[in-house]
Chains A and B, each alone.
Chain A
Amino acid sequence: MMKILELVDVWKAYEEVQALQGLNLEVLRGEIFGLIGPNGAGKTTAIKIVVGLLSMDRGFVSVNSYDIQEEPYEYKRSIGYVPEDVSLPDYLTVEEFLIYSGKIRGVSNEQIRERIDSYLKAFDLEDKRRSLILILSRGMRQKTAMASALIHDPDLLILDEPFIGIDPSGQHKIKEIFNERKKDGKALFISTHMLDTAERMCDRVAIIHKGRNIASGDMESLQRLSKTGGNTTLEEVFLKLTEEATQPYSEETPVTKKRGLFRFRKN
């Protein structure tokens, strides 16, 4: 399968915090890829770099074969993004916001109309079509943001904690939409703390810790890597690997590539 997203040796520091320390990741077309890690691991920073809301200090990121630094506008036509803390223009109605989202992404009026009807139905927002976003609940805002991220039918959907605040039936519908997109060869890149959801939904997962990818692959390979056994859950794998990773690394620890997985060598 072809790569749709690639992060190579990405570094990012905030004033006193080294948020990413040489992060490497690959997301393939037709897969749901999960990004998991403890609080402060660098998940949101990585996502913000990919969607163009943060610059990186060093490294290379490509989306759909576009170098995001060389072509900062063009690659964004291939991505849809929903942040963790969704803020939307309260003064617009749901329909107006979706029209706005489509127009700024260059979608034709006809397609915007069709997709608005389709996603409002899918997300149970039909009766809120002409309501101001101001009066929507958190879950409804999340669904509206999701619909706006899908309005241009992107090849890669990037979601930071997509299920927070959404009711179970809403979550079920969203998962159905994700699976349909996967079948169509589109990719999803999801950051989440909900490990059971990630385990059931994602084809591959990357565990990042202190800005580094400490392990990535499918469930079977992660179990193998963590030596936790074949019946262990992602939660157990995650706890084992992050616990091991709390040992200090040297700044330039080389990365060993083993059976298609990345793992940092401990000192």
Chain B
Amino acid sequence: MGIIFDLYKLKLKLFFGSLRASKGSIILLLIYTLSMLPGTIGMSMAIVDLIKKGADLTGYLDLLSTIISGFLALILLSTLRGFTAFEYEQSFIFTSPIVPKKFLIAGMLSDFTAFFLFFYPLPVFLGIVTVSLSLSVSSVLLLVVSFLLFVFFLLFVRTALSILEAVYGDRGIKVVTALMVLLLIFPAIGIFIHIPIRYGDLPYPSTFLAQSLLGALYGRSSPAHSLLGLAFYFFASLLVFQFSSKINFFQFTTSVPSGSPFDTSMRMQTVKMGKNIQLFSRVGLGITLDFKSRSLLCFLMKKEFIRMIRDGSLFSVFLFYAITSIITVVSGTERAPIPISTLLLAIYSFIVPSMLIGNWRISEMRNLWIPLTSGINLKYIVKSLLYDFTSVASIIPVIIIGALTFISQLDPLIPLVMVISVSMVGCSTNLYVAVIFLNKRYRATPSFMISWVSILLSSLLLTPTYIFAASSILLNITVELNLLLSVPIFVYSTLIFIYFIKKLEKETLSIEL
């Protein structure tokens, strides 16, 4: 037991350890904690209110079962990549005399702890519901026991299947897992079209959990069969776990780099970016960096463009705007007070510069020594970056706006002015903030904090643009007047753009690595 407890403590320390490395991670955790609380309380109160008004929540059995089944299906799918272990586990634990079973038990206990720390709103939700509905002790017990049985069932199944997949990773196990996933999610079709199979009629673990939860909320002693059903799945999964834990799977594990969601370090982000490059370079190798560019600036722009293709940045921008197009075409609500396409364009054109420059920072921060020691005048680097980011951030939405003008009769003027202005101001401010945070003193700041500062500064500087767009739409300003008003917006955006180019040229001179 001693070894298990030591391993459990070690795993928890590594899970939360990166919190100690940066104040930003602690702020992230606090923000996560605080941001979940109002939503949880609000949702709990709404459900309590519905039950008090007499709404028949049991009618939601299928919906709740579908959600739980979907979650279970995702867990099952994750086992297809075999048993994953962190680098430190492979190096230090798998080479020690610790037996697999003890390692697995410690791992499951730490997963269980982390699960509850992450899903801390759940006990809050249960607490509010219990007190507000004055649930009986037996109902509360039913809720808790059902939930625990299901969580351990999940952990046992996930662990056992991952080991079996890793050790006997043949097609048979994959087919069985895929079949289980299909069986789990098949009744969900019933939500969209009428089929004779419903979750409520099936002996699925998700159905049993949904029945237990809904039964407890109504203060009824739930049908005993749902609890028995969950107990059956729990013991069955325990048996499979017992069998798989006797297998020496240490040599079959797949390495993963980090074990903590709080790890916002540059190393971790670089690893994630490496995976993107592996994926997107299959397409991205079609365009190559060669001698054909007319000038050094064009060459540098092409290099950055290639990076954006190969690290998936360009794909993300396309995806953002593809969603806008699809929603606009499907919804067909262009005559609403604020057209949905304009709203989406306003949101995405604001996010895209931050995303583009965030990706640049992850990809290029460690490589900055190359231009900095080369003797190239850094104004070329600054200009190439800004021209590239602004082009990508504006040309793609401009094409989308053009297409939507024909397909959905979108009035193109306001969206065009908005996306071009937002791209110019957003890209220049985001890049400026990113370069400021390259300073040694601020370099450990997590990316999301840098994004927040950029977003704050961009928002302030984009106030005139948004005032122009909002007033044009809400006050039904004529096309002629809109055209006239858009001129100062363009001039203003250009001035901001030029100002930040000059500032960046100065700032890059003082970058220290």
Using an 8 Å CB-CB cutoff, how does the interface string of A104-147 with B read, 1 for contact, 0 for none?
11100100110000000000000000001010000000000000
Q: How far is the CA of A106 from the CA of B364 in the complex (A)?
A: 21
Is B376 within 8 A of A99, CB to CB? no
Task: Tell me the A63-91 residues at the B interface (CB within 8 Å).
Answer: 72-77, 79, 81, 83, 87-91
Is A99 within 8 A of B375, CB to CB? no
Indicate whether B369 reaches chain A with its CB closer than 8 angstroms. Answer: yes
Indicate whether A53 reaches chain B with its CB closer than 8 angstroms. Answer: yes
Is A105 within 8 A of B513, CB to CB? no
Q: How far is the CA of A105 from the CA of B371 in the complex (A)?
A: 9
Is B375 within 8 A of A91, CB to CB? no
Query: A77: which of B281, B299, B375, B510 is its contact (CB, 8 Å)?
Result: B375
Complex contacts, A54 vs chain B, CB 8 Å: 512-513
Is B369 within 8 A of A87, CB to CB? yes
Total contacts A to B, CB within 8 angstroms? 93
Q: How far is the CA of A99 from the CA of B510 in the complex (A)?
A: 26
| Shortest distance from the beta carbon of A251 to any chain B beta carbon, whole Å | 25
Is B371 within 8 A of A53, CB to CB? no
Q: How far is the CA of A104 from the CA of B370 in the complex (A)?
A: 9
Indicate whether A101 reaches chain B with its CB closer than 8 angstroms. Answer: yes
* Interface class of chain B by DSSP: helix
Task: Tell me the B360-403 residues at the A interface (CB within 8 Å).
Answer: 363-364, 366-367, 369-377
Using an 8 Å CB-CB cutoff, how does the interface string of B278-296 with A read, 1 for contact, 0 for none?
1001001100111100001
Indicate whether B274 reaches chain A with its CB closer than 8 angstroms. Answer: yes
Query: B366: which of A87, A100, A103 is its contact (CB, 8 Å)?
Result: A87
Q: How far is the CA of A109 from the CA of B512 in the complex (A)?
A: 30
| Shortest distance from the beta carbon of B235 to any chain A beta carbon, whole Å | 47
Query: B291: which of A51, A87, A99, A134 is its contact (CB, 8 Å)?
Result: A99
Is B509 within 8 A of A72, CB to CB? yes
Task: Tell me the A6-44 residues at the B interface (CB within 8 Å).
Answer: none
Stretch at the interface among B149-157, B303-311, B444-452: B303-311
Is A105 within 8 A of B375, CB to CB? yes
Is B509 within 8 A of A91, CB to CB? no
Is B367 within 8 A of A51, CB to CB? no
Indicate whether A92 reaches chain B with its CB closer than 8 angstroms. Answer: yes
Task: Report A's interface with B, CB cutoff 8 A.
Answer: 48, 51-55, 72-77, 79, 81, 83, 87-93, 96, 99-101, 103-106, 109, 112-113, 132, 134, 148
Can you spell out 19 A-B residue pairs with CB atoms less than 8 angstroms apart? A53-B369, A73-B375, A75-B375, A77-B375, A88-B367, A89-B307, A89-B363, A89-B364, A89-B367, A90-B363, A91-B277, A91-B284, A101-B374, A104-B370, A104-B371, A105-B375, A105-B376, A132-B285, A134-B277
